[in-house]
Amino acid sequence: MKSSVFPRRKFLERASLFGFASIFPFGHSLQAAGIPLYGDSTGQAPVSPAAQDRSQLSKGAFNFLPLGSIRPLGWLKSQLQIQVNGLSGHLDETWADAGPNSGWLGGNGESWERGPYFLDGLVPLAWQLDDDRLKAKVQRFIDWTLEHQAASGMIGPASNDDWWPRIVMLKVLTQYEELAGDTRVIPLMDRYFQFQLKELPGRPLRDWGKFRWQDEVLSVIWLYRRTGAPYLLELARLLREQGHDWVGQYANFEYKQRITAEFLKLSEGDGLKDLALATHGVNNGQAVKAGPIWSLVSGSDADRSAAAKMIAELDKYHGLPNGMFSCDEHLAGPDPSQGSELCTVVEFMFSLEHCLAVTGDPFFADRLERLAFNALPGTFTDDMWAHQYNQEPNQVECSLHRKPWTTDGPESNLYGLEPNFGCCTANFHQGWPKFTDALFMCTVEGTGGDNDGLVAAVYAPCEVRTTLSGTAVHLVEETDYPFRGKVRLSINPSSSLSFPLRLRIPEWAKGVRIHVNGEGIGDAAPGTFAKVEREWRAGDVVEITFPMAPRIPRGFNNSISIERGPLVFSYGIGESWVKLRDRGMTADWQVFPTTQWNYALILDKDDPAKSIAAAESAVGEAPFTRGNAPVKLSVKARKLNRWRAVDGVADPLPPSPVETDEPLEEITLIPYAAAKLRITAFPECKA
């Protein structure tokens, strides 16, 4: 493959050309270098009276609970354990880029983004499952980073001076500090940020850092909320000034077509030009949060509302039925045979979590669930030992073909260790753990500054231990959601306590019922947060029943998809798995179809949902697998023989309605993630 097709490869080839000051042990020669030691002998960062005012930051609608407050239960805990038993728990044992020779462990191996990416998901995963083995893996990387800060304040391997991988490591350090309470973190971050503020005017953001600046602003805000140091807001403004204007890009969105290598002129450059980076899928997934995050500094309502505008444009021109936008590697249009990169899925999820916290708009939580319950598990093997780089809603074969990718290569939808490019191998680990950390949020409505309300933001089995208005509260969520519509919340404050509990009502949930201790509380409008405010006592129970009627949205060429609750359903094509090669502890696989897939659905013209029958079974420990699908749908269909595949890719859907005289059949649909070969968008038969 040409390096211009894989722009990050080009960067890695060049990275060794850059260098920076020698690495010194923690604190060594810092004062001599003119960097003040920020902290006393305990490592705690002092806060001067002048620095205590945080009023220059705008408030978001919700706050994240302190990390460690939420623990997974039920099927979610099992899913996280599957992740631990798969690549996440063993990546450093089988992949050199995260192995013991990593530059982020002092070795001369990969020294750019992959170590930090791996940690960005491994840190929350280790603490959510209280897994000492994973914590030990984390600690090796953390200790090296904390103990080898340069005299200048720079952190990380000396083989490159790129700002971008440090942006990821800063996210790692903020999570680790909250979970482990390591007093070395805040002084190190303070020195690094002071160093960066001095350096940026002469060495500005470039390439990936220029387009991902908002992720560093998150870490800057995190530190500002703890120290109040005024220079941090100056740094945030400089990052924004040097970064790409994402809000402006979407205010007048120009990239409405399938972005090709020819459009980007990749043959003339290395892929790191602004046009290529502005249309790059992962960059756009990360950018969704840019406006809301920046609104915390700017106070601008326009910034705060920018994320909804961005998603609307992506949906209109590049939207897919699994909740993603196409990006393989660049924006690719609405054809469901186009793919989405796994890195984009997890980064889009992370953006949505922050958009929800800042804006309080339940729309972002609806989309977050759609990704978490469909696109995220839909790109892994059942045991999470292999993943795809690109997944497709209409995925009829996973094999070595150039089609249909815009700028990616022929391994793009193989299941394997590092198909196409290894960034997703390093980065996917954050998806489930950060989703878990966003299940509940809190509000600060009073003047005391304490958390004084809870928000059920997204639904999955978990328990919460936190403090509201100085009182300990333990909440347990029991549910088989998204496979079932019932959610039970047991609320147990250590003493009776009045506080508001907000319950998200998805946009699709018409006719939801809410009971508190068996007593109904009235209607709850879809697309809102229902507020239940009362004096809570130990043993109080809130029960929510969401309707699970099928829905039939329209898409590309008037095609139809089937949804039920937050789940998207697909026709599961028969699968033949063929090992391409062994890859250490895992392997790379091609998957070929063993059954026909070219169906057009038949729906009742007066009430389409009546055409779909649901059958439920037990929700087990691996519910996103074909053999354990907890819910299946039946629908009538006819084959459409003129709809075919070329080079392993389904042709574009013929515009609906279509005519076919093939025999009537009844086909079974299963959750999107359970079908590794699948049809998700269907033509509709003419009545």
Q: Which tokens hold the place of 532?
A: 């239940």
Statement to judge: residues 532 and 464 lie in one domain: yes
Q: Which tokens hold the place of 594?
A: 């063993």
Statement to judge: residues 570 and 475 lie in one domain: no
Statement to judge: residues 604 and 627 lie in one domain: yes
Question: How do residues 638-661 score in pLDDT, each as one tens digit?
Answer: 999 999 999 999 999 999 999 999
pLDDT above 80: residue 569: yes
pLDDT above 50: residue 20: no
Q: Per-residue DSSP letters for 201-235?
A: TTS---HHHHH-HHHHHHHHHHHHHHH--THHHHH
Residue 505 lies inside a defined structural domain of this protein: yes
pLDDT above 50: residue 635: yes
Statement to judge: residues 534 and 576 lie in one domain: no
Task: Select from 545, 564, 580 the last residue of a domain.
Answer: 545
Crossing angle, helix 362-370 and helix 306-318, to 10 degrees?
Answer: 40
Amino acid (one-letter) located at 248: G
303-to-161, 250, 288, 291, 684 alpha-carbon distances in Å: 31, 11, 11, 4, 40
How many Cα atoms occupy the beta-carbon half-sphere of 458 within 13 Å? 30
Q: Could you count the other beta carbons within 10 Å of the beta carbon of residue 607?
A: 8
pLDDT above 50: residue 198: yes
What backbone torsions phi and psi does residue 503 show, to the nearest 5 degrees? -115, 120
Q: How far apart are CA 310 and CA 386, in angstroms?
A: 31
Statement to judge: residues 557 and 675 lie in one domain: yes
Q: Which tokens hold the place of 382?
A: 């059942």
Q: What angle do CA 244, 245, 247 make, to 5 degrees?
A: 140
Task: Select from 545, 560, 585 the last residue of a domain.
Answer: 545
pLDDT at 55: 66
What backbone torsions phi and psi does residue 580 show, to the nearest 5 degrees? -85, -45
pLDDT at 12: 33
Residue 616 lies inside a defined structural domain of this protein: yes
SS3 481: coil
pLDDT at 448: 59
Tell which wins on pLDDT, 79 or 445.
79
Q: Which tokens hold the place of 41?
A: 């002998």
Residue 568 lies inside a defined structural domain of this protein: yes
Residue 468 lies inside a defined structural domain of this protein: yes
Q: What's the sign of the alpha-carbon dihedral 350, 356, 357, 359?
A: positive
pLDDT above 50: residue 490: yes
Statement to judge: residues 540 and 648 lie in one domain: no
Statement to judge: residues 467 and 510 lie in one domain: yes
pLDDT above 60: residue 7: no
Q: Mean pLDDT in the chain? A: 92
- Identify whether 478 is preceded by a cis peptide bond (ω within 30 of 0): no
Q: What is the DSSP letter of 664?
A: P
Q: How far apart are CA 399 and CA 407, in angstroms?
A: 16
Strand 497-505 and strand 453-456: pairing? parallel
The tally of domains found in the chain comes to 2
Task: Select from 515, 545, 575 the last residue of a domain.
Answer: 545
pLDDT above 90: residue 44: no
- Identify whether 329 is preceded by a cis peptide bond (ω within 30 of 0): yes
Statement to judge: residues 534 and 651 lie in one domain: no
pLDDT at 3: 30
Residue 527 lies inside a defined structural domain of this protein: yes
pLDDT at 302: 97
Distance between start and end Cα atoms, the chain: 47
164 — pLDDT class (breaks 50, 70, 90): very high
Residue 405 lies inside a defined structural domain of this protein: no
Q: What angle do CA 178, 179, 183 make, to 5 degrees?
A: 60
Q: How far apart are CA 212 and CA 220, in angstroms?
A: 14
- Mean pLDDT for 426-446 is 94
Statement to judge: residues 523 and 575 lie in one domain: no
Residue 622 lies inside a defined structural domain of this protein: yes
Q: How far apart are CA 63 and CA 69, in angstroms?
A: 13
Residue pointed to by tokens 């290569």: 409
Residue 358 lies inside a defined structural domain of this protein: no
Range of the domain at 497: 446-479+486-545
Amino acid (one-letter) located at 152: S
- Nearest of 82, 91, 80, 178 to residue 125 by alpha carbon: 80
Statement to judge: residues 574 and 670 lie in one domain: yes
Return the CATH number at 467: 2.60.420
Q: Could you tell me which residues come within 8 angstroms of residue 595 by beta carbon, excluding any fewer than 6 positions away?
A: 573, 574
Statement to judge: residues 666 and 592 lie in one domain: yes
Statement to judge: residues 663 and 644 lie in one domain: yes
Q: How far apart are CA 455 and CA 440, in angstroms?
A: 5
- Nearest of 83, 101, 87 to residue 416 by alpha carbon: 87
